[in-house]
Structure 1
Amino acid sequence: MALLNVSFSSKLTPKPPLSLPKPHLSHPHFSPLSLQTPPQNLLFSLRESVAKAGFLALLSSSLFFVDPALAFKGGGPYGSEVTRGQDLSGKDFSGKSLIKQDFKTSILRQANFKGAKLLGASFFDSDLTGADLSDADLRGADFSLANVTKANLSNANLEGALATGNTSFKGSTITGADFTDVPLRDDQREYLCKIADGVNPTTGNATRETLLCE
């Protein structure tokens, strides 16, 4: 029986290592560093996003603990105190700068605003019965739904003020007051024209003319 003469090599022929396709160095976004570590600008963006998210979460949660009174503060030097929805009867605000001050729904009976700067102030639905508003700068003030009965508006400048709804000036003194561009109900305009007289010392406009009295 013939023996097969098979010879085995003492050394195995090594297989060539697998070769990965080489990146194209000409690619515009290729960088040798990208094969090693993430780009630094990406890490920075991630850290910044996390920091912002944490800050916004803290800010939103803190809003639940804000003193509700802070939402009712107005402008001007008296803004450090709450003037909205308060009983401020007889308070002395004379000569003060109360620009855009918020007096909404407040009780201001016999309050003294003589000579005060109340541009854009809000007296929405407030009670100004018997208040002294003489010589006050009330341009653009909001008297919507306000009770301004028996108030002193002598020489006050109400140019562009709002007086919509059930605003009432019954029994008020309006000598020299300027009602230019104040939207009044027909019954209020008719009533005020019966008592209107004088000229506003600041604007030089006659009260009757500003009320469009016939």
Structure 2
Amino acid sequence: MRECEIQAERQGFRAARASVAAVAAIALLFPVDPALAFKGGGPYGSEVTRGQDLSGKDFSGRDLTKQDFKTSILRQANFKGAKLFGASFFDANLTGADFSDADLRGADLSLADATKANFTNANLEGALVTGNTSLKGANITGADFTDVLWREDQRSYLCRIADGINPVTSNSTRETLLCD
């Protein structure tokens, strides 16, 4: 009887080793960027980056639809040409980030600090900017702000620096900010 128990135990160990090997093989075939590691659920994407320091990270050209960057530090991050439809940058530090040619339609930029960020030719249609969202020193040439509800002081500031026409929507930055 004891020999049967030993054989069963060995088979169990073999099965466990095979399972570990299979998981390791899958991890090698499908690597996950640690900056996009799952941190929790919520209404945004399954790859949550909430509250992380991702300064200087390159997200250019990536599809980050509904990505959650709430309270993250994204100084000098590169989002050039990224699809950020419905992404949340609530209370994030976006100082010097590059959003040129990015799709930020419906993104939440509430309370975000986007000082000196580059929004050249970005599409921000319907983005949320409630609170003290800051775009001081930002480049907004060709950005589309259609249906973005700015506080009057924010809109007034942006109208002083607004110029260009968005190449995707053909809308004038000044017109989308309701300047004039």
Pairwise TM-score range, normalised by the shorter structure: 0.7 to 0.9
Q: CA deviation at 1:102?
A: 0.2
Q: Structure 2: where are the runs of 5+ without partners?
A: 1-37
Establish whether residue 69 from structure 1 lines up as the match of residue 39 from structure 2.
yes
Q: What percent of counterpart residues are identical? A: 76
Aligned residues: 143
One-letter identity of the residue aligned with 1:191: Y
CA contact (8 A) 2:121 2:140 kept: yes
Q: Once superposed, what is the RMSD of the aligned Cα atoms?
A: 1.6
One-letter identity of the residue aligned with 2:106: G
Tell me the distance in 1 between the aligned counterparts of 2:118 and 2:97.
Answer: 6
Higher relative contact order (CA 8 A, sep 6+): 2
Tell me the distance in 1 between the aligned counterparts of 2:56 and 2:162.
Answer: 26
CA contact (8 A) 1:177 1:200 kept: yes
Q: CA deviation at 1:71?
A: 2.9
Cα 1:184–1:73 shift into 2, 3 Å:
closer
- Taking the TM superposition and a 5 Å limit, the aligned residue runs for 1:89-128 are 89-128=55-94
Q: CA deviation at 1:74?
A: 4.8
CA contact (8 A) 2:55 2:76 kept: yes
Q: CA deviation at 1:70?
A: 2.8
2:144: which partner in 1? 178
DSSP 3-state at the match of 1:141:
coil
Decide which structure has the larger Cα Rg and report it.
1
One-letter identity of the residue aligned with 1:85: G
Q: Structure 1: where are the runs of 5+ without partners?
A: 1-67
CA contact (8 A) 2:39 2:49 kept: no
Structure 1: which 4+ aligned runs deviate by more than 6 Å? none
Cα 1:85–1:73 shift into 2, 3 Å:
farther
CA contact (8 A) 1:72 1:83 kept: no
CA contact (8 A) 1:179 1:210 kept: yes
DSSP 3-state at the match of 2:149:
coil
CA contact (8 A) 1:72 1:84 kept: no
1:151: which partner in 2? 117
Cα 1:98–1:115 shift into 2, 3 Å:
same
Q: CA deviation at 1:73?
A: 9.5
TM-score by length of 2: 0.76
